[in-house]
Structures are given as C-alpha cells and as structure tokens.
Amino acid sequence: MPSLPPRTGPLTDLRVIELGQLIAGPFCGQIFADMGADVIKVEPPGQGDPLRDWGREGFPLWWSVVARGKRCITSNLREAEGQDIVRKLVAQADFLLENFRPGTLEKWGLGYEALREINPRLIMIRVSGYGQTGPYASRAGYASVGEAMGGLRYVMGEADRRPSRAGISLGDSLAGVYAALGALAALHHREKTGEGQMIDATIYESVLSVMEALVPEHQFEGYTRERSGSILPNIAPSNIYEGCDGMVIIAANQDTVFARLCVAIGLPDLKDDPEYKSHVARGRNQKALDDMIQAWAASRTIDEIEQIMIENGVPVGKVYRAADMLNDPHYAARESLTEVPSPRWPGIKQQNVFPKLSATPGKIRWAGPESIGQHTEEVLTELLDLTPEQVEKLRASGII
C-alpha cells in the first residue's frame, strides 16, 4: 500500500478514535481529519460502515467525502478482544468520537467512566439523536426526526403543503459541527487543567440552536412561525425571481439597499412611496413588491439581472447547482472545490477544507479508504506494537 501524504493543518498533534457510522459522528471526524488530526475510524469486520454503499447505484460517492483523510481499521466491538483494541488505542488518543445509541458503549465496557480510567485526559465526543440523558435518550435518532423535533421541519416548505426537507442531512451535519466545536472547547480546558471531559451533542439541539427567536416569539407574542416558501414573512424584498432563462435571489430589505434596487429596476421614486419606504411598510406590502420585481425580471436573462444588481450594489445571486459550482470563477479563485487523490475516482472534486486558516491550512489527503480495514495492520503494528503474526491471528479469529 503506498504511503499516505503527510498530515497538515492546526491539529496534526491530535489523534481521534472514531466509532459509530453513517453521518453525524463521522462528519465530526471529517472536520478533524481535514484540519490535520490523525483520525482512526473503527468499523465492524466484513461489513464496514453502511455509508460505504450509500449514493446513486454504482456511485457510492458520499463515503469518499465523509471518510476522507481517515485511516480505517476493523475491530469487532461485540467481542472482548475487539473492545480491548479500542482501550489500547484510547490510551494514546486525545478524543474518542462515537454516535451509537446511548448505552451501547456502556454495554461493551467502553463508556466514559471506564475509558477515563485508562486516559484521564481523554475527551469523549458523543453524538446522538436526543442526548445521553432525558426520557428520550434511548430512542434511535436520525437527522429527519431531529430536524422535526428541533423545529426546522415545521417551517420548511410552502404554506399550503406538508412540511418539506432540505435536500441534505442537515441535522446530522449540524450535530457534527457542534460536536467538533464542543471538543475543541474541551481541548482548551484540558490545556489549562489537564482534565478531559465528555461532549454530549444531539441532533435535535443542534437544529434548535439555529432556530433564531422561534421560541421566545411564541412565549412573549403568541406568534408561531409558519411555512412561507421562498420568503421570510415581513422581510422584503428578499425572494427568488425568475428571469427568462433561470432563477436569481435578490435581497434588498435594508432601506439603503432598497433605494439602490429601485434605481436598478427603473422605479427610483418607489423608495419614497409610503407603501414601501420603510422596512415595516415593505413587509406589509410584500407580495405587491415581489410582483413588481418579478415583472421587471421576467424579460431579462439571469446574467443581465445579476450584472444590473451588481452595478447598483444590490445583493444578488444565481441559484447554483453542481454544474454552476464547477464552472464558477469565484469558486476556482478561492479553491472552494479541490481535486482529491483517489484511485477509485480519478479527478474527483470535493468541497475544500473549511474554514480557511491563513497560517496552518488543512488539506485533504485522500478520498476515503476504499477497502474495509485498509489500515488495520498499519495501525495495530504502529500504535499497539503488535507483530504481523498477532495481527493475522486476530484476523483469523474474526476480531478484525
């Protein structure tokens, strides 16, 4: 097996042991790997992470993103010898990351209290649907359910239809981001005290955290946010408008920006009209204002609309699809997409490491290990000092 490129980024001195599967936990691990940490993903022998097979038939590309930059080993966590491999790895790790249903690791003797006896500096990152405590803790939790409980699903979609969803597993990704944020905060605490701790990150609370003033609006005003399609009620103009060859978003709800929009669409006096001159007035007359802008946009191409808005200092943007991203000069200049080494998918482009750091930028070393247990022997001999013969014995017994 060819040697892997060196790790770069701000976290090269850290090691993460990643348990669990699918998205929420592994997305957190992806963030750590992108930033240079040594992420060792533990999968069950013979089957691996189910995400390896997710995607369009014949193109399981999702795995190549979530598993990028990680080393993958196998260990049967239902057997004592497999559990012991994790304990030995934890002794040399900074983080253990997992997204099993709460109680699963405790059943295997790998709960936080047990592992902190091995490594008091360990930071344990636990990602779940509902958390490690509370009456719902033992429930299985997926992103779709967490998005519903966190309040997001109810407000997504058109007002006259059942709630919609984003075309991505948003709740999982949010949980992974918050888990990484909590872990780095715990790392800062450890630098001051030498003590590790446990991070309890949930899908539903990750969604809840981005729900703005939804709860206090109900509490103090009796107001419940409803589905409103492509607009936010009373925030106008800010909508999707159709040109003759596509769609653009124009956002001009601030007074000064609205004045520039009025010039751009040939209605300069509109900015002084009492029906539209203030934020409250525009919100009250939102539909009529959107109709005027749509009438102006309908006969123009999206390139023309975009250029006119840019010249007048009005925020505007095409509604991008993947093809637009691949051909956009700003994407190219900022390397928002980058080509990632991959024997299976030569030339594959993925979203680049984000956020960008000026002094210690991260780098994607490869697009997801292909074979299950690809780095098992490497990790067990390098970190646990096992001999090739001992590794082969574990393999023969089904532990790895």
DSSP assignment of 246-288, as one string? -EEEEE--SHHHHHHHHHHTT-GGGGG-TTTSSHHHHHHTHHH
Residue 371, class by beta-carbon neighbours within 10 Å (0-12 exposed, 13-18 middle, 19+ buried)? Answer: exposed
Q: Give the H/E segment covering residue 14.
A: none
Please tell me the predicted confidence (pLDDT) of residue 2.
58
Please tell me the predicted confidence (pLDDT) of residue 345.
93
Residues 351 and 330: their CA atoms lie apart, in Å, by 14
Q: Please list the pLDDT of the chain residue by residue as tens digits (400 residues).
A: 456 789 999 999 999 999 989 999 999 999 999 999 999 999 999 999 999 999 887 788 999 999 999 999 999 999 999 999 999 999 999 999 999 999 999 999 999 999 999 999 999 999 999 999 999 999 999 999 999 999 999 999 999 999 999 999 999 999 999 999 999 999 999 999 999 999 999 999 999 999 999 999 999 999 999 999 999 999 999 999 999 999 999 999 999 999 999 999 999 999 999 999 999 999 999 999 999 999 999 999 999 999 999 999 999 999 999 999 999 999 999 999 999 999 999 999 999 999 999 999 999 999 989 899 999 999 999 999 999 999 999 999 999 9
Please provide the distance, in angstroms rounded to a whole number, between the alpha carbons at the two ends of the chain.
Answer: 18
Q: Nearest to residue 69, comparing CAs of 306, 395, 309, 362?
A: 362
Residue 359, class by beta-carbon neighbours within 10 Å (0-12 exposed, 13-18 middle, 19+ buried)? Answer: exposed
Residue 357 backbone phi and psi in degrees, to 5: -105, 135
Residue 222, class by beta-carbon neighbours within 10 Å (0-12 exposed, 13-18 middle, 19+ buried)? Answer: exposed
Residues 294 and 210: their CA atoms lie apart, in Å, by 30
Please tell me the predicted confidence (pLDDT) of residue 60.
86
Task: Enter the pTM of the model.
Answer: 0.94
Reading the block at residue 27, the tokens are 């997305």
Q: 238-318 is classed in which CATH architecture?
A: 2-Layer Sandwich (3.30)
Q: Do domains 15-210+333-396 and 238-318 have the same CATH topology?
A: no
Handedness of CA 349, 354, 360, 362 (dihedral sign): negative
Phi-psi region of 46 (alpha: psi -120 to 50; beta: other; left: phi over 0): left
CATH 3.40.50.10540 fits 15-210+333-396, yes or no: yes
Domain boundaries, the chain: 15-210+333-396, 238-318
| Catalytic sites, residue numbers | 172
Residues 8 and 364: their CA atoms lie apart, in Å, by 9
Q: C-alpha angle with apex 111: 105 to 117, nearest 5 degrees? A: 150
Q: Nearest to residue 86, comparing CAs of 48, 133, 124?
A: 124
- Long-range contacts formed by 148-152: CB under 8 A, 24+ apart: 149/204, 149/207, 150/203, 150/204, 150/205, 150/206, 150/207, 150/208, 150/211, 151/207, 151/208, 151/211, 151/214, 151/215, 152/207, 152/210, 152/211
